Structure 1
Amino acid sequence: MTLKMSGFNIHIVFDLLAASLSLVGTYLAYTWRLRAANAMALGKLSTGYGIALVTGAAVGGYGLGSANLILSEIPMVGRSIVGALAGATLAIEIYKRFRGIVGSTGVIFVIGFTTTVAVGRIGCLLSGLEDQTHGIPTGASWGWDFGDGILRHPVQLYESTAMAVFLVGAVIALAVRSPFFLKNGFYLMVGFYAAQRFIWEFLKPYTSIAGPLNLFHFVCLSLIAYAIYMILRSKDART
Structure 2
Amino acid sequence: MSGLAVHTLFDVLAWIAAGAAALWLTRVRKIAFPAATTDLPYLAALILGAGTGAVLFGTLNMIVSGVPAVARSVEGAIAGAILAVELYKQGIGLHLRTGARFALPLAIGVAVGRIGCHLAGLEDFTHGTPTALPWAHDFGDGIPRHPVQLYESAAMALFAIVYVVNVMNRDAAWIDRGFYLAVGFYGAQRFVWEFLKPYGTILGPFTVFHLLSAALVVWAVYMLSTAKKPGDANDRAVAEI
Q: TM-score when scaled to structure 2?
A: 0.91
For residues 110 and 47 of structure 2, what CA distance do their matches in structure 1 show?
17
Find the partner of 1:37 among 32, 35, 49: 32
Q: Deviations over 1:52-110 (max 9, x none)?
A: 10010011001100000011111111100110000000111111112222232111111
TM alignment of 1:12-161, pairs within 5 A: 12-33=8-29, 37-38=32-33, 41-42=35-36, 44-161=37-154
Other structure's SS at 1:127 match? helix
For residues 18 and 67 of structure 2, what CA distance do their matches in structure 1 show?
31
Q: Is the 8 A contact 1:33 1:174 kept in 2?
A: no
Q: Which residue pairs with 1:202 in the alignment?
A: 195
**Aligned residue identity for 1:19:** W
Q: Is the 8 A contact 2:58 2:71 kept in 1?
A: yes
RMSD after superposition: 1.6
Change beyond 3 A, Cα 1:30–1:57: same
1:21: how far off? Answer: 1.5
- Percent identical residues: 47
For residues 72 and 124 of structure 1, what CA distance do their matches in structure 2 show?
18
For residues 7 and 208 of structure 2, what CA distance do their matches in structure 1 show?
24
* Unaligned stretches of 5+ residues in structure 1: none
For residues 48 and 9 of structure 1, what CA distance do their matches in structure 2 show?
31
Q: Deviations over 1:24-57 (max 9, x none)?
A: 11111121456x622x523x22111101100100
* Unaligned stretches of 5+ residues in structure 2: 233-241
Aligned residues: 231
Q: Is the 8 A contact 1:184 1:231 kept in 2?
A: yes
Find the partner of 1:224 among 192, 217, 220: 217
For residues 108 and 32 of structure 1, what CA distance do their matches in structure 2 show?
14
1:12: how far off? Answer: 2.3
For residues 134 and 86 of structure 2, what CA distance do their matches in structure 1 show?
44
Other structure's SS at 1:209 match? strand
Other structure's SS at 2:202 match? strand
Q: Is the 8 A contact 1:104 1:186 kept in 2?
A: no
